[in-house]
A and B are shown apart, each in its own frame.
Chain A
């Protein structure tokens, strides 16, 4: 509050007769400064505008949160192994070829799990390097 008044006093001493137009100009300049500051703040706010959930809960904008990523990866490996193991076990019972098909399918399941994790990692890296890395 004391800043502008001091400024005006100072200006009044310097150019006493042309005070009214100078004052007007000063108010104009001050307003323009204020508008500029508002503009900067608006711009800053606009950058975050499409972040409806803020930074913390906004996975749609940025890549997956670490926790979501961890869940995706771990479940991917376990489920691929489990499903392939089950298919092998079931086919073994069907064809009466006990452990062999299950062994083959477990290896295959391991491959599937690794492949899926590799893909998740690749997509995440793409997203990390250039905005939207998806194709």
Chain B
């Protein structure tokens, strides 16, 4: 083990330096792993659907499973008019899923463990949803901030709360994904360090724990991809049907 700090795995390394005006647009290990996950996701979906068989094979049914999963999620959470946004939601889900899952491969890098990556995605969702809300409902979208059936003196307190909670959304959305990824990977590394330092005598206990933790981390990788997309769906629902 050459790196002893459990946080060393999150270090950004420049692979190709690209100074773009005053901006550092270098190609980093984070960009590399995002690209790998895009390439793998594209390859998985296009290659497995190449046959287009009526009775799907293993790969095709896996691709169809992902498609159906997202389609169901969109139908249940967005409802009417959500179908148009399927490509975006599907891309979001597959991108996060592949990034999270590839992070479980030893020696890999997890871009979603950086808050700037998850925050960028959350902000895209946030701005997009706000624009859609105003396009679809005009100023009626502002009804979202005024809960119905509440006396006026409570509105004075509730409206600021609703407005703040709307602007907190992209932050809670990004923090949730990033914190999960970072905490899990740090834990794995910390317990990995225990195994090495306790050696052959007592290292078995943390090793067993790591095995359980790895399984849980794989589950969390999928769960958090789901949570991120399902919340995006809920926000989209709010934008399409404000005023509950």
Q: Is B237 an interface residue (CB 8 A)?
A: yes
Q: Which chain A positions have C-beta within 8 A of B230?
A: 59-60, 64, 68
Q: Which chain A positions have C-beta within 8 A of B117?
A: none
* Complex Cα spacing A61 to B71, Å: 11
Q: B interface, by DSSP: helix, strand, loop or mixed?
A: helix
The answer to whether A79 touches B223, judged by C-beta atoms less than 8 angstroms apart, is no
| 8 A Cβ contacts from B155-178 to A | 157-158, 160-162, 164-165, 167-168, 171-172, 175-176
The answer to whether B161 touches A83, judged by C-beta atoms less than 8 angstroms apart, is no
The answer to whether A83 touches B171, judged by C-beta atoms less than 8 angstroms apart, is yes
The answer to whether B68 touches A52, judged by C-beta atoms less than 8 angstroms apart, is yes
| 8 A Cβ contacts from A56-90 to B | 57, 59-61, 64-65, 67-68, 71-72, 75-76, 78-80, 83-84
- Closest-by-CB residue of B relative to A75 is B176
The answer to whether A80 touches B180, judged by C-beta atoms less than 8 angstroms apart, is no
Q: Which chain A positions have C-beta within 8 A of B69?
A: 52-53, 60
Q: Which chain A positions have C-beta within 8 A of B224?
A: 71
Q: Which chain B positions have C-beta within 8 A of A71?
A: 176, 180, 223-224, 227
Q: Is B65 an interface residue (CB 8 A)?
A: yes
Q: Is B35 an interface residue (CB 8 A)?
A: no
The answer to whether A112 touches B179, judged by C-beta atoms less than 8 angstroms apart, is no
Q: Which chain A positions have C-beta within 8 A of B244?
A: 135
Q: Determine the interface band of chain B, counting residues with CB < 8 A from chain A.
A: 20 to 34
Q: Which chain B positions have C-beta within 8 A of A83?
A: 164, 167-168, 171
Which of B65, B172, B231 has a CB less than 8 Å from the CB of A53?
B65
Segment with Cβ contacts to A, from B10-18, B72-80, B189-197: B72-80
Question: Known contacts being A80-B172, A134-B237, is A61 close to B164, with CB within 8 Å?
Answer: no
The answer to whether B164 touches A75, judged by C-beta atoms less than 8 angstroms apart, is no
- Closest-by-CB residue of B relative to A61 is B72
| 8 A Cβ contacts from A80-135 to B | 80, 83-84, 108-109, 111-112, 115-116, 132, 134-135
Q: Which chain A positions have C-beta within 8 A of B176?
A: 71-72, 75
Q: Which chain B positions have C-beta within 8 A of A64?
A: 230
* Complex Cα spacing A78 to B172, Å: 9
Which of B73, B161, B227 has a CB less than 8 Å from the CB of A112?
B161
Q: Is B114 an interface residue (CB 8 A)?
A: no
| 8 A Cβ contacts from B173-227 to A | 175-176, 179-180, 222-224, 226-227
Q: List 6 A-B contacts (CB under 8 A).
A: A60-B76, A60-B77, A75-B172, A115-B161, A134-B77, A134-B237
Instruction: Name B's A-contacting residues (CB within 8 A).
Output: 65, 68-70, 72-73, 76-77, 79, 157-158, 160-162, 164-165, 167-168, 171-172, 175-176, 179-180, 222-224, 226-227, 230-231, 237, 241, 244
The 10 tightest CB contacts between A and B, nearest first, are A60-B73, A79-B172, A60-B72, A52-B68, A75-B176, A112-B165, A52-B65, A111-B161, A112-B164, A52-B69
